[in-house]
Structure 1
Amino acid sequence: MNVGVGLPVSDPAALLTWARRADDGPFGTLGLLDRLVYDNPEPLVALSVLAGATSRVNVQTEVLLAPLRDTALLAKQAATLDRMTGGRLVLGIGIGGRDDDHRAAGIDTRTRGRRLDGQMAVLRRLWSGEPYGDGVGPVGPAPSRPGGPEVLFGGFRPAALERVARWGDGFLAAAPLPWADGLFETVRAFWRDHGRRGTPRLVAQVNVALGPQHVIDEARAAMHAYYAFTGTPERMVAGLLTEPARIREAITGFADLGADEVMLYCHGRDPHQVDRLADLL
């Protein structure tokens, strides 16, 4: 099973250091969160820079809020990054849960799921080299992988889980082990119901902080701020894993559930966490 590193969003300039250390280590993927109305780097721009500073690791959005973006432009941006990295882009996609993000983009939250389904039909068509439609030709460049980069969907509700089977290649689970087990099984069931071959790729996300107390305190504060919109950020902070044994247990637990990769999300800014996590592995 692969292990990836989820990058903190509070210090964009430091992410090059994180990326280079991860590329030199045992990690398979660099992940980056997405928000619009928040002090975070835009993920496709940031991951393009990080991809240029690395040679091996995949770069992954977790999750890109596709309904906030113009569909044709997103198709072009994703195909460009995928092509220029030799297929190292993994496009994690979701609808998002913050009303302010959608208001800033002029998107009605009540239609975001339907909008994403419509976007996926267009994205798949454009990545296959077909015309946009209505007298508009194809949008290039062709992605590295025929049909477009690997697409993973995040979410919790049945509509989001079924979307994996209809449009995607796999599932991103930002959920603890007991909950993730049921989500994985539901995704597998939808996959079979839609007659998909093989199995969906399953990626888990675990929030971690490894280092001195100030690193842990900073990570907790960053998580509290990021999840304040929920009204109960303490619940997310309580799930932060800060001990090597518990992080190993989580990785093993997700492996036992059949996860293909576990993303260790670091909310604290100290890049030495990459080295500590590498030693832990």
Structure 2
Amino acid sequence: MDIGIGLPTTVPGADGRGLVEFARRAERHGFSTLAVLDRLVYDSYDSVVALAAAAAVTERITLATSILLAACRQSPALLAKQLASLDRIAGGRFVLGVAAGGRPDDYAATGADYARRGRRLDTVLDELREVWEGKGAVPGIGPQPAGGIPLWIGGHSTAALRRAGERGAGWIAPGGSVSGYADLVRRARQVWAEQSREDAPRMVALAYVSLGEDGAEVGGRYLRSYYSYLDAKADRLAASVIADAGRLREVVDGYAEAGCDELLVFPCTGDPARLDLIATAALP
């Protein structure tokens, strides 16, 4: 199983230059992927801009949105240009992970219809491909991606799994417990079979990690803030943060046994030095 790392773009107050150093260290340590979360109404960096900065200081590591709220974007043509530019800057290392999302305020901020976000996401994905293939309503929008941009779909609803089976190369589970992951793998593979797919889905999962002397406190504070809209569930997520190196190793092994192809571990602080602790515990 591959181990990727989250770029802490959603940690409030994260230093911009620190994010750049974080990207450099992630590649040096040998993580498979550098991933970003996406929020609009929050103290966070723009996903595409942050990955472009990471692309400029790395050469090997995959760069992924996990996930991008593409349905919030009002102009698929502009988004297509931005994502293709990112992929070209990265030399074809970009993976587009998308999901419908669950925060109405992110949609309200751009005037997008939250109630129709799933249908809107399907439309945006269609239009992205059309632009990249030179078939958009307005021809001539460039550049084209360096290669085919792989698509990962996030979410565990029936609609999300259907979307993944119809369009995706992989599926991303929301952050949660490893205990139910094997069943999600089974469901995803079943959807792939129902779509008569000959390939297997790339199964991706997320876990939140906060190592260090005050790891549990730092991680809990961040997750309660980031997931505050979930009310009581935010407290449960905060309590489940992985704050011990031994526990992280157990979680890594558990996801591997459950059928995960790549685990993305997201740090709860923007301090690049904490990345070293995660690498020591999580990487072979």
TM-score norm. by structure 1 comes to 0.94
* 1:32-58 deviation digits (Å, cap 9, x = unpaired): 111111100000001100110111111
Question: 1:260, 1:86 → 2: CA distance?
Answer: 23
List, as ranges, runs of 4+ consecutive aligned residues in structure 1 with deviation greater than 4 Å: none
CA shift in 2, pair 1:40/1:29, >3 Å: same
* 1:93-125 deviation digits (Å, cap 9, x = unpaired): 011111111111111111000011111122222
Equivalent in the alignment of 2:33: 29
Question: 2:274, 2:95 → 1: CA distance?
Answer: 23
Partner SS state of residue 18, structure 1: helix
Report if the CA contact (8 A) 2:52-2:89 is conserved. Answer: no
Equivalent in the alignment of 2:64: 60
> Cα distance, 1:178 vs. partner?
2.1
Query: In angstroms, what is the RMSD of aligned CA positions?
Result: 1.3
Q: Find 2:117's aligned residue among 97, 103, 112.
A: 112
Report if the CA contact (8 A) 1:12-1:40 is conserved. Answer: no
Question: 2:151, 2:68 → 1: CA distance?
Answer: 11
* 2:76 alignment partner AA: T
Segments of structure 2 that go 5 or more residues without pairing to the other structure are none
Equivalent in the alignment of 1:279: 280
* 1:187-245 deviation digits (Å, cap 9, x = unpaired): 111111111121011111111111111x4322211111000001121011122011111
Question: 2:32, 2:95 → 1: CA distance?
Answer: 11
> Cα distance, 1:278 vs. partner?
1.7
Identity of aligned residues (%): 39
Report if the CA contact (8 A) 2:205-2:260 is conserved. Answer: yes
> Cα distance, 1:138 vs. partner?
4.3
* 1:106 alignment partner AA: G
Question: 2:15, 2:135 → 1: CA distance?
Answer: 36
Partner SS state of residue 31, structure 1: strand
Equivalent in the alignment of 2:126: 121
* 1:49 alignment partner AA: A
Partner SS state of residue 153, structure 1: strand
Question: 2:196, 2:131 → 1: CA distance?
Answer: 23
Equivalent in the alignment of 2:229: 229
Equivalent in the alignment of 1:19: 23
Q: Find 1:47's aligned residue among 40, 51, 61.
A: 51
Equivalent in the alignment of 2:144: 142
Give matches, 1:1-281, under 5 Å: 1-8=1-8, 9=10, 10=12, 11-13=14-16, 14-69=18-73, 70-127=75-132, 129-133=133-137, 136-145=138-147, 148-174=148-174, 175-213=176-214, 215-232=215-232, 233-280=234-281, 281=283
Question: 1:101, 1:114 → 2: CA distance?
Answer: 16
TM-score norm. by structure 2 comes to 0.93
* 1:137 alignment partner AA: P
Question: 1:85, 1:16 → 2: CA distance?
Answer: 14
Report if the CA contact (8 A) 1:78-1:149 is conserved. Answer: no
Report if the CA contact (8 A) 2:182-2:259 is conserved. Answer: no
Q: How many residues align?
A: 275
* 1:254 alignment partner AA: Y
Question: 1:116, 1:142 → 2: CA distance?
Answer: 21
* 2:64 alignment partner AA: Q
> Cα distance, 1:270 vs. partner?
2.3
Partner SS state of residue 152, structure 2: strand
Segments of structure 1 that go 5 or more residues without pairing to the other structure are none
